[in-house]
Every structure is written in C-alpha cells, then in structure tokens.
Amino acid sequence: MNKLDELLDWYGTLSPPTLDRVTAFYASHARFKDPFNDVSGHAAIRRLFEHMFETTQNPRFVIVDRIVQGQQAFVTWQFHFGLQGRDYTVLGGSHLRFDADGLVIEHRDYWDAAEELFQKLPVIGSLIGWLRRRFAVPA
C-alpha cells in the first residue's frame, strides 16, 4: 500500500482518536486550504479536523475516485455529516501535492459552498436558490 492509499484509508476512518496521525501523512509545514480555511502546519490541520468533529454530527468521508500523476493526486469525495438534526452530503475534490517522502505538502479542497452547503440550509437556501435562478441563462 502506498502513502496515498494509506492517507485515503485514514480519511475513510477519520475520528477524534485518529487525529494524531496527521503527522504521519502531512509534512510539518503542509498547507491545507478549503472554502473556509487556509492553515499551515500539523497543529492547525489537526485543529481544523477537531473543529469539524465539534460542529457536525457523525462526519465521514467517502473517497470516490483518484487520479495520480507524479508527486500529485486529485481525489473526489463525498462528505457526509449531520447539522442541527439534518443530514447533508457535500461533493468535492482535493488536489494533493507530496514531497519526496510521500508526505502532503499542499492540500487544496474544491467544492461549491453555495450549491453544496448554503443552498441546502433553511432561510439562506431560498436566497441562494433565488440568486442562482436569477443569474442562470434562460433555457
């Protein structure tokens, strides 16, 4: 099993007790960026996941596909979680760059926060839906 497989297996079983393994997969200076965060280093990346477990119910990642090219990979995933008694699924992808030791040096998540999250929330969702319809090209 290579480092990418190990990393993706870790994501598939991520839980508060496994967060210490961040250091096994991310370089000490690694950068992690998503639509809400831009952090660097083991402590900050671990805190990002701690926050996820504190603010959502039963969060879990399902890895869908991967493309590997040299020292980088692109992975698509589903993020399932509960929030205030409702279940949500966010679809996204991650661009990962690795150092010579196979540790992640850059992790960039790509997902549409408006479509995948905001539009599904009460109150905000109706406004986002209205904006999408307003700016969509007429069929």
Give the domains, in start order, of the chain with CATH numbers.
3-111 (3.10.450.50)
pLDDT of the residue at 128: 56
pLDDT of the residue at 114: 57
The answer to whether the predicted template modeling score (pTM) of the entire model surpasses 0.85 is no
* Spatial CB neighbours of 39, under 8 Å, sequence gap ≥ 6: 31, 32, 33, 45, 47, 48
Low-confidence ranges of the chain (pLDDT < 70): 1, 113-136
pLDDT cut 90: percent of the chain above it: 72
Residue tagged 């280093």 (tokens): 41
Task: Give DSSP secondary structure letters for 16-77.
Answer: GGGGGGHHHHEEEEEEEE-SS-EEESHHHHHHHHHHHHHHSEEEEEEEEEEEEETTEEEEEE
Q: Tell me the per-residue pLDDT of 90-129, one tens digit each, with 9 for 90 and over.
A: 899 999 999 999 999 999 999 876 555 555 566 665 665 6
